[in-house]
Structure 1
Amino acid sequence: VCVIIFWLLKMEISVGEAEKRTGKNTVNMQEIYTVYLIETRPVDAVTEGIIPAPDSLWRRYSEFELLRNYMLVTYPFVVVAPLPEKRAEIVWHKLSADNMDPDFVERRRVGLENFLLRLASHPVLCNDKIFYIFLTEEKGWKEMVYETGFQAKADSRLKAMNAAFRVKNPDKRFTELKHYSDELQTVVSQLLRVRARVADRLYGVYKVHGNYGRVFSEWSAIEKEMGDGLQSAGHHMDAYAASVDDILEEEEHYADQLKEYLFYTEALRAVCRKHELTQFELEMAAQDLASKKQQKEELVTGTVRTFSLKGMTSKLFGQETAEQREAKLQVLEQQIEEGEEAVKEKNTESDEFVKTAWVDIERFKDQKDRDLKEALISYAIMQISRCKKGIQVWTNAKECFNKM
């Protein structure tokens, strides 16, 4: 539960449960989908000893996606928290990849709650009006999002790629950040794949222990003195073999924490792409201004520095009249004035973007270091606990054998 502040209003947020529903999609076909219950409660009432029933509403995963897309476009300088995966990826082979599987839905519920708490704890995003409406108004929310016109502001992939290739003076810090993001994605992806392979082998080892249980049970049937001890040892082995499902399901929660940062890498790159686009637009404005100033100089001095079709035409068919030249000069001066204003605006926009983005990137770095350290330590503690349980099983088996 997190406390979120909207214009002096404080509230707690949680995603309480998930529910399957049946309805018709956009093409009027029946579909089964999952909705998630968002609950909010005023903090002031709780502190005063009154615990009111929480306000609640249901949201589909696609609505969470719409909220995040709105945040990405509206706050391009923010490393916006990712959503949990829509379908299970990089998992041990016995785990269901079905997005309707109850265990997967439960992990996604936890992930969606974490997403909302990430937004709620962000110093900028927590005060967004659309976010507040998402949490408090079930009807009409989508229309309000589209009314903001955020879709028209979204930069196309092609535009971003063009900027990445053509920008002449990239900011070294953002270039290094983009490379770091790529490397972090590779490392975390490899770590998750290694973990999935280890989980597969661990599953096999645990299940094979069930064979000990079967053999000890069969053996006990032909022994009089040793029978009870063998039977008891077999029960311990059966329990050990059956415990692996819960163990690996618990592991998936730690894997989900790593996956969050796997998906965060794309959010980092989105900030870098936006900076490249801002820088590219600044460079294009500056280049256009320089071109206009050169044209003015050529018009005033009557000398052409670079080859142009206009220059060749003038030589072949005669020079322009003084009146024509004066009219052109006035147009150019107006364009230069507008160009200087445009460059000034783009410079301000670029400086402001770098300033705000870098503050958020530093915030993200601190969060990442803290979260990943905690996740890795928790994972190690869980593995130690698992090994201790294994030792206990064999200790119990040893005692069974001693009593024979």
Structure 2
Amino acid sequence: MTEVDDYCCAIDRHLHELLDEASEQQQRNEQGEIGYQAPQFYNVVHISDAEKLSDNGSSFIAYSIIFGDYEVKRRYSEFESLRTCLCRLYPTFIVPPIPEKHSITQYAVLQKRAKEDQYIIERRKRMLERFLNHLVEHPILSSEHIVHRFFENGVSWTEVLHSPVVTNLPKTPLYSSPSRSPGSSIADGTSVQMPKIAATNSLAADVPVPSTLAPIRNVEARWMDCELFTNRYSNQFSGVVEKSERKIYRKLGELSGDYAELGAVLNGFSLLDNQREDLAAAIEKAGQAIDSSYIEINALLRSMEADMSEPIHEYSQYASIIKQVLRFRMLKNLQVDNTQDALLYQKKKLDTLLQADDEAKKLAQVLETSGTKVSPTTTTAAAAANPGDFSEPEDVDPNGFVTPQRANTDAASSVNALGDGIMNRLTYALNGMMDVDPEQMRRNQIGRASDKISILEEQLEMLSNDLVLVNTSTQDNLDRFQKQKMREVKAVLVAMSKMHLEWAEKNLEIWKEAKEAVDTVDAV
């Protein structure tokens, strides 16, 4: 199965050796050397026990993890932080779920005993074991050194969480660039496996995180179909399959309780006086059969919990995980769209600035050719207000300010001319006080716009490469999950068939014996 040649540590090597042995065992099963087994994942990691430990005055449940010759104890919060780290390192991976924390209802009912409830502990043991086996079976996650450190005895998990690999992770994966992380490779529009998220990339961190409510313009049809399928899948598992399974489980539990009551009544009835011996024996046998049926129903319920309820609930959790992966892909797609919009806006802005600069230069040239003195501020204002209008100036006062021509008999024109002359002098004085050079200002604006365009172009190239990697990795993980789902759903169906067959066969045997006892009763 494994094609790994270089192992990062002894645990990495040991895990892959166990996987190879499990793969060979499965091949022998498929070839018929051993009786048929349901197609399940490679069960190479086991949680053998759960014990109560204390640390600094607080108690917790530690789970004993065994794989091969190795054993390590970890608490639930460490499982939870391991999964959180893997989700941050690999945002396009469908990281297996773990059982949820205790609900408020459980704490309200059980209070301090919630963490010690045997039913909850046993359920967690099974689901955490499935989580670990899914990890070691994953072609990439099984080689992640953080996973190996989790399996290593004597390693402080707190120190692992404070190592640079974890502490240097960005606040959001969107602040890192997969295409510029170590191990990345992009060629001819295709990519290799997406590398894990590295430390914050300064160029990527400058790209705003878009809103999930923003519409995506350039989205492939396959991702729209994928989101629709995920929603249907979530509704089917969470709203239909899991609900129906829990309803059956509850009804069987009620039937078990009814059988317990009826068995006690019949057993008591068989002990009444003044009854024929054969009838009393038949009633007692029927009561014993009902008691046995009660026991078998409870055994069926335990099998359903482990082999049906928990896997079905796990796949309900997978629906939420897939939605998170698709959300990350959507946000990366939105970043590309937003950067394209920002780049287009900056290019238009630069064109406007260049056009205004050209108009100002042409206007200044026309004024210079006509022998008219003009202030830089007036030239800039005229160019900005009337680009392309290069009519001759109307008049110039002795101080060199442009003023409108005076009409011979129009008093209003004289007032306007006087006002314009005052405003021009005031503007000139203010510009001198502020030491503002409009031409220099235009050059600065053009320079800033050009720099912004260069940065946006680099960001767009980086984000486009990131999106290629994200799309490829997301599709690969969705394809892998689909194969895993088909295999494990088949395993659930096979287990369900086997448990009901065994339950029916045992009940048939029980009630055959009861019928034989009833047949001996003489009706006369």
Q: TM-score range by the shorter chain?
A: 0.7 to 0.9
CA distance in 1, matches of 2:349, 2:210: 31
1:115 to 124, 131, 140: 131
Relative to structure 1, the CA distance from residue 81 to residue 160 in structure 2 (aligned partners, 3 Å threshold; closer, same or farther) is farther
Q: Where does residue 228 of structure 1 map in the other structure?
A: 281
Answer yes or no: is the 8 Å Cα contact 2:296–2:507 preserved in 1: no
Answer yes or no: is the 8 Å Cα contact 1:164–1:277 preserved in 2: no
1:37 to 64, 74, 84: 64
Q: Does 2:100 correspond to 1:85?
A: yes
Which structure 2 residues correspond to residues 366-381 of structure 1 after superposition, within 5 A?
Answer: 366-381=483-498
Q: Where does residue 389 of structure 1 map in the other structure?
A: 506
2:13 to 9, 12, 26: 9
Comparing 146-155 with 355-364, greater Cα deviation is found at: 146-155
Relative to structure 1, the CA distance from residue 164 to residue 352 in structure 2 (aligned partners, 3 Å threshold; closer, same or farther) is farther
Comparing 259-268 with 144-153, greater Cα deviation is found at: 144-153
Q: Where does residue 51 of structure 1 map in the other structure?
A: none
Answer yes or no: is the 8 Å Cα contact 2:278–2:520 preserved in 1: no
CA distance in 2, matches of 1:184, 1:38: 32
Deviation readout 1:197-228 (Å, 9 max, x if unpaired) = 22222222233233443443314532234222
Comparing 320-329 with 122-131, greater Cα deviation is found at: 320-329
1:118 is displaced (CA, Å) by 1.0
Q: Does 2:224 correspond to 1:202?
A: no
Q: Where does residue 85 of structure 2 map in the other structure?
A: 70
Q: Where does residue 238 of structure 1 map in the other structure?
A: 291
One-letter amino acid of the structure 1 residue matched with residue 212 of structure 2: A
Q: Does 2:458 correspond to 1:335?
A: no
Answer yes or no: is the 8 Å Cα contact 2:209–2:335 preserved in 1: no
Deviation readout 1:84-116 (Å, 9 max, x if unpaired) = 23348999xxxxx95532233122112112111
CA distance in 2, matches of 1:31, 1:311: 74
Q: Where does residue 213 of structure 1 map in the other structure?
A: 263
SS in structure 2 of the partner of residue 139 of structure 1: coil
Relative to structure 1, the CA distance from residue 67 to residue 286 in structure 2 (aligned partners, 3 Å threshold; closer, same or farther) is same
Comparing 285-294 with 331-340, greater Cα deviation is found at: 331-340
Gaps of 5+ in 1: 25-29, 42-53, 92-96, 304-309
Q: Where does residue 40 of structure 2 map in the other structure?
A: none
Deviation readout 1:268-295 (Å, 9 max, x if unpaired) = 1111011011111112221111111111
Q: Where does residue 144 of structure 1 map in the other structure?
A: 160
Deviation readout 1:105-152 (Å, 9 max, x if unpaired) = 122112112111111111111111111111114433322233322653
Relative to structure 1, the CA distance from residue 40 to residue 389 in structure 2 (aligned partners, 3 Å threshold; closer, same or farther) is closer
1:326 is displaced (CA, Å) by 2.6
One-letter amino acid of the structure 2 residue matched with residue 21 of structure 1: L
One-letter amino acid of the structure 2 residue matched with residue 16 of structure 1: S
Which structure 2 residues correspond to residues 225-374 of structure 1 after superposition, within 5 A?
Answer: 225-253=278-306, 254-302=308-356, 315=385, 321-374=438-491
Aligned CA-pair RMSD: 3.5
CA distance in 1, matches of 2:511, 2:284: 14
Relative to structure 1, the CA distance from residue 90 to residue 195 in structure 2 (aligned partners, 3 Å threshold; closer, same or farther) is farther
One-letter amino acid of the structure 2 residue matched with residue 195 of structure 1: E
Relative to structure 1, the CA distance from residue 332 to residue 204 in structure 2 (aligned partners, 3 Å threshold; closer, same or farther) is closer
2:76 to 43, 48, 61: 61
Q: Where does residue 170 of structure 1 map in the other structure?
A: 219
One-letter amino acid of the structure 1 residue matched with residue 48 of structure 2: G
Deviation readout 1:38-62 (Å, 9 max, x if unpaired) = 2343xxxxxxxxxxxx232211111
1:260 is displaced (CA, Å) by 1.2
Relative to structure 1, the CA distance from residue 38 to residue 212 in structure 2 (aligned partners, 3 Å threshold; closer, same or farther) is closer
Answer yes or no: is the 8 Å Cα contact 1:36–1:60 preserved in 2: yes
1:20 to 43, 52, 75: 52
Comparing 113-122 with 239-248, greater Cα deviation is found at: 239-248
Answer yes or no: is the 8 Å Cα contact 2:329–2:470 preserved in 1: yes
One-letter amino acid of the structure 2 residue matched with residue 192 of structure 1: E
Gaps of 5+ in 2: 19-44, 107-112, 175-207, 358-379, 387-426, 429-435
CA distance in 2, matches of 1:321, 1:164: 42
Answer yes or no: is the 8 Å Cα contact 2:63–2:73 preserved in 1: yes
Answer yes or no: is the 8 Å Cα contact 1:37–1:56 preserved in 2: yes
CA distance in 2, matches of 1:225, 1:81: 59
Answer yes or no: is the 8 Å Cα contact 1:6–1:132 preserved in 2: no
Comparing 216-225 with 366-375, greater Cα deviation is found at: 216-225
One-letter amino acid of the structure 1 residue matched with residue 317 of structure 2: F
The count of residues paired between Structure 1 and Structure 2 equals 376
Q: What percent of counterpart residues are identical?
A: 20
Answer yes or no: is the 8 Å Cα contact 2:256–2:298 preserved in 1: no
One-letter amino acid of the structure 2 residue matched with residue 39 of structure 1: I
